Amino acid sequence: MPTNVFELDSDTSSLIYNLLDSSTLRALSNSSRDGFVCVTPWLVRKVNISLEQVPAFCHFALKYDLCADIMNLRLNVGISRGATYDPILAKVLERAINMTHFAHLAVNTRRASRRDDVENPFPFESLPPSLLSLKLVGSLGTGLERLQTMTKLAHLVLLPPPPAEYNTPRERAVEAVIRKSACTLESLTLGHALPPSLRTTDVPTFACKKLHHLCISGTSVSQEQLALMFPNLKSLEIMDDSMIEVLVDQTPESSFVLYGADEHRECPPRMLFPNLQSFCGPHDLALNLSRYHPLCRIVLNEGTFRATELSFLSDILLNLTIRSLTLDVRVPGSIVVSGTTFDHILPLARHLAFLSLHIGVFEYETCCRLVDCLLQAATFLSPYLQDLRYFRLRLETYNSTSDICHHNEAPIKLDAIVGAWAAAIPSLRYIELDVDHRKLGHSFWRVSPQHGMFLQVSKEEGLSARNWYDTAEWKENHNLSGS
């Protein structure tokens, strides 16, 4: 009969250790000699360290023979100015034969991104072939060219600094990494360094037939070439360059253009991606893709639209049945806040299950009027949003001229807003409000189908529900309708 947790059989103890957080595991490891032997391997399974912590960690892992227990390693290099690494790191990587996830995250300045001749660069050639997930961000020097064969990658993120010209050794190395795992890749994120095969009119010599999610940014590429290399895409994301500027600290000279044969954003008049269901990117490309592809989810991330410039949405919603829609809207201070701006859109949005609006306003007074309108908006929307399950609203002020607003002296209660929506739209299950007004803050509310009852819930529950209705609910609905 075991007298403590360290005497349990391996299967039982593994179940217990897997449920404990790192601080609890650390306490158990320090409790006794048996605790150190039994628990320390679990502490190094998932490691997140900085550049300065690399030598100490490597010496510890080698001293206690823990390299084979490392499964997930994340290095946060920070601002890289020709960063050098202790040669001992290569020994650890070579012995980490069970590691499946690795991330190298660096931020560089323009000057640092040119420095490839460091004395001890990161030993990319020592990364184990067991990797299933690889994420490389920022200055890599000649790292991509030194990667050894990895034939089992399922998830790959490559975001080096933008190349000065096309078809460089870095871009050819990107293509080589993709080619080696072409049979196993499921998701791929690329920055400005793209495979040279995507920039030509020749048929690519390989195809990633299992790849379902592709995220690219900041360059020009033919849709036809994308379809040849990634024929079974289900999700396509055109990442806004501002999203990766923070990572690589380099502003691209040109914005993204995904063009057809005529080198415009016009989509060729046929279906290129038969399985495409989700698109994130500019609205003109969303409109063109929606004409020939069965999109169920659209995220418009190219920036913001004025509330008076949303007519294109009616064209998108007219072309297909959208279940999830996310967009940003800016409201000038002079606009009369009402629902009339959406009159021509809402009748076409009857099938929305998830709706996320980020409304940015220029004046604080306008923000006050919008908050007031939240109480009446649900009644106006209810005839149209009959299938809505999750509503997310982020209300943000810009360039406020005054910290004091006299428009509404009585404090606005979030539960009053939630109550109005819950009563008017019976299908609602969750409401998320992120309101930059009178410190109303960020809250999640669960709505009961009976009698419009509602309850504020934890952030964890709210985020889980948001993820389900935004990215999963429509997949299940699509599969059921197709069966």
Taken in order 226, 101, 240, 144, the sign of the CA dihedral is negative
pLDDT digits over 350-403, tens only? 788 999 988 776 666 666 677 677 777 777 777 778 889 999 988 877 654 455
3 state SS of 215: strand
- Report DSSP letters for 160-204, one per residue: PPPPSSSS-HHHHHHHHHHHHTTTT--EEEE-S---GGGGSSSPP
Please state the domain extents for the chain.
1-44, 280-399+412-482
pLDDT at position 304 is 56
pLDDT for the residue numbered 145: 77
Query: What pLDDT is recorded for position 188?
Result: 97
Tokens matching residue 322: 């959208």
**26-44 b/e (C-beta count within 10 Å ≥ 16 → b):** eebbeeeeebbebbbbbbb
Burial class of residue 68 in the structure, from the number of CB atoms within 10 Å of its CB (0-12 exposed, 13-18 middle, 19+ buried): middle
Q: How far apart are CA 39 and CA 43, in angstroms?
A: 7
Contact 437, 368 (CB under 8 A): yes
Q: Cβ distance 162 to 250 under 8 Å? A: yes
Strands (E), 208-261: 213-216, 220-222, 235-238, 257-259
Work out the number of other CB atoms within 10 angstroms of the CB of residue 222.
18
Backbone angles phi, psi at 222, to 5 degrees: -80, 135
Name beta bridge partners: 258: 221
What burial class does residue 300 get, using C-beta atoms within 10 Å of its C-beta: 0-12 exposed, 13-18 middle, 19+ buried?
Answer: buried
349: amino acid identity, one letter:
A
Give me the average pLDDT of each 10-residue run along the chain (483 residues): 60 68 73 75 88 92 94 84 78 95 77 47 88 88 74 92 69 90 96 85 92 84 89 90 45 39 52 91 83 88 60 72 82 52 65 86 68 72 84 75 51 75 88 79 86 86 96 73 52
β partners of residue 222: 259
- Please compute, for residue 409, the number of CA atoms within 13 A of its CA located in the half-sphere on the CB side: 0
CA 159/CA 248 separation, integer angstroms? 8
SS3 state of residue 336 = coil
How many whole angstroms separate alpha carbon 325 and alpha carbon 354?
Answer: 6
pTM value is 0.82
**Which two tokens mark 276?**
């495409």
Report pLDDT for 377. Answer: 72
DSSP 8-state symbol, 430: E
Q: Burial of 395 by CB count in 10 Å (0-12 exposed, 13-18 middle, 19+ buried)?
A: buried
Query: b/e for 316-337, b at 16 or more Cβ within 10 A?
Result: bbebbbbbbbbbbbbbebebeb
97-108 b/e (C-beta count within 10 Å ≥ 16 → b): eebbbbbbbbbb
pLDDT in tens, 233-279: 999 998 765 444 434 433 333 333 454 433 444 556 678 899 999 99
Q: What's the gap between Cα 75 and its chain centre?
A: 19
Q: Is 438 left (phi over 0), alpha (psi -120 to 50) or beta?
A: left
β-bridge mates for residue 349, sequence order: none
pLDDT (0 to 100) of residue 156 = 96
Question: Is 100 in a helix, a strand, or coil?
Answer: coil
Task: Determine the Cα angle at 322 with ends 460 and 345, to 5°.
Answer: 105
* 280-399+412-482 fold: 3.80.10
Count of CA atoms in the C-beta half-sphere (13 A) of 143: 30
pLDDT at 314: 74
Strand partners, 103: 74, 135
Residue 69: name the closest of 50, 88, 95 by CA: 95
Asked if residues 267 and 290 have their Cβ atoms less than 8 Å apart, the reply is no
CA–CA separation, 342 and 338 (whole Å): 9
